């Protein structure tokens, strides 16, 4: 990080970028809910971002970054379906273990966090504009 202190816009922007990654992984999880395959290894696994707090000593502010995206959640559900063309030699298929309710809750939380950061940016912008008007 540079020696320049972070601005409120950089803090909020980085937080919004992290929430965008979270929204994208949640959307991917929901899109793959119910997906089936012929093996547990190739079944879709739920993705989750891992966040890391970053402290900026120059400004005294903290923000968040995505450190990495990991697979998480339950193991795929094995189901006997010998007529399915994707079934393995034993007649089993494996369904992605995506908890759709949890993913929807994550999506709503993400949208709220994103909106909160937009409000932070709008408030900062209004305060800057009001400050500039004082100088007239």
pLDDT tens track for 32-56: 999 999 999 999 999 999 999 988 8
Neighbour tally for 129: CB within 10 Å: 9
Cβ 87 vs Cβ 81: under 8 Å: yes
pLDDT of 16 reads 95
- Cα 35 from chain centre: 20
**Neighbouring residues of 31: CB distance < 8 A, sequence distance ≥ 6:** none
As a whole-number percent, the residues of the chain with pLDDT over 90 amount to: 75
Pair 47, 70: CB distance under 8 Å: yes
Q: How many CB atoms lie within 10 A of CB 101?
A: 8
């Amino acid at each position: 990080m540079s020696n320049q202190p972070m601005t409120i816009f950089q803090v909020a922007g980085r937080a919004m970028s992290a929430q965008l990654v979270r929204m994208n992984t949640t959307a991917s999880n929901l899109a793959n809910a119910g997906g089936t395959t012929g093996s547990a290894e190739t079944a879709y696994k739920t993705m989750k971002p891992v966040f890391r707090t970053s402290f900026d000593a120059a400004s005294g502010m903290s923000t968040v970054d995505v450190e990495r995206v990991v697979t998480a959640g339950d193991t795929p559900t094995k189901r006997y379906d010998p007529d399915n063309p994707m079934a393995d030699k034993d007649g089993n298929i494996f369904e992605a273990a995506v908890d759709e309710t949890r993913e929807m809750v994550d999506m709503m939380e993400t949208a709220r966090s994103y909106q909160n950061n937009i409000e932070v940016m709008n408030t900062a912008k209004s305060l800057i504009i009001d400050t500039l008007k004082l100088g007239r």
